[in-house]
Structure 1
Amino acid sequence: MPGPAIEVQELGVRFRRNRRGRRSFKDLFADSSRRSKPGEFWALRGVSFTVQPGESIGVVGRNGQGKSTLLKLVAGVLLADEGRVTVHGGVAPLIEITGGFVGDLTVRENVRLTAGLHGMSRAEVARRFDGIIDFAELRESIDTPYKHLSNGMKVRLAFAVVSQLEEPILLVDEVLAVGDRAFREKCYKRIDELLAEGRTLFFVSHNEKDLRRFCTRGLYLDKGVLAMDAPIAEVLDRYNADHNAG
């Protein structure tokens, strides 16, 4: 029997409050004491759970409760201060629409660069290139610098590239909320196809309809701790009750 896709054990990450609301690079090399210092806060603490291959996990919670931080820890973008995250298999991260793209490069150049950075060979990029461009609906903008694209175009390009990766774990963070309705439906269809292939989905969203559509299990984060781990319908009922009460 295969082992878990993701293992999270007593996970904690601490940030320093500065003008940008996060730790500076210098802070990474500061005193490693686990006690919080003035101006610091725990974005996540004591979080533990396991995700099996093929599961569809929805992460819910109000803004600022640690959802995106958790996703970035799973993606390897952030490092934990406590505990650990173990990911068995590669991840296809759709976390930030600007992640991995270079403003001065064209759409054509960015597809080749970003797909390559995610592990696609030159032959794979060439084979999938037209499909990526057509999915993103950017054929007429193929030689346009990325920085001149609208946010909607950037979302389309990011999803088109990431959804072509063959990694077993798909990480999605609220990105689809930016695209127009027709493109969102196309993305939803593609996610359905990936789930039918047995991919693992780790999905952060405030859209209850999307969470119910794609996810079978939910993680509810409240003030940086895991308040509930249960079937998605139960988690959403609890979250809505807490939200309405607050």
Structure 2
Amino acid sequence: MAHAIKPRRRTAGLEALVLQAITTLGIFVGILAAIAAVADWIAVARRITPLEYAAKPTATLAIGFLAVAAAPGNLRGTVIVAFSLCLVGDILLMLAKDRFVSGLAAFLLGHAAFVAVFVQIGLVEIGSTQSTLSIATVAVLVATVASRIVPHAYRLDSKIGWAVAVYALTIFGMFVAAVGTGQPALGIGAFVFMVSDALIGFRRFSRLAKPGNVAIMVLYHSALTLLAFGIAQ
């Protein structure tokens, strides 16, 4: 009897050690994500390019790692794709050479991957009164913002104009799917992502007052964090 109990105790002890190690790693990566995000904000504010090149992808990578680690097993593959595409978009958009269209394409595919994640979670709230009101309200906002950005982008380059229009529809689709899950963190995260991208659009294409890059990055990292938290629920 004693011999039967000892292996069980050893197994339980090993499981406890593994759990403790995973928890410790999660805390470490969470701290790394926070430090990298703040470092990126400072780098953007003070135009410290080498620091931005290191901090920006590190923050996205760390947040993505936490999302993948906390996601249910059936979601992990799609979550990896979504955050990896965001990472690619980050790198393309911060390079000295203008790779706006390539970065836009990477993020567009990333949003499509997030839609796939939300569909896997389940669009249980699609059609409910609350989700319908939220979607309708944001649809008006998206249309208003797009009307300020897309024409300027089109005049600059017709292909870029069409790309921005398709991107706006795609990220709105991500918001619809996020709201459809019924998880507040996902809906808010998708909305904050849209606001961040709208500010990029205003900064690049609109003649209105230019929003600051720091605000864009704070919103972007907040959006990724909210999406990671929602996926983990």
Indicate whether the TM-score tops 0.5. Answer: no
Larger C-alpha radius of gyration, 1 or 2? 2
Larger proportion of strand: 1
What is the TM-score of this pair, normalised by structure 1? Answer: 0.29
Q: Which has the higher contact order (CA 8 A, sep 6+)?
A: 1
Larger proportion of helix: 2
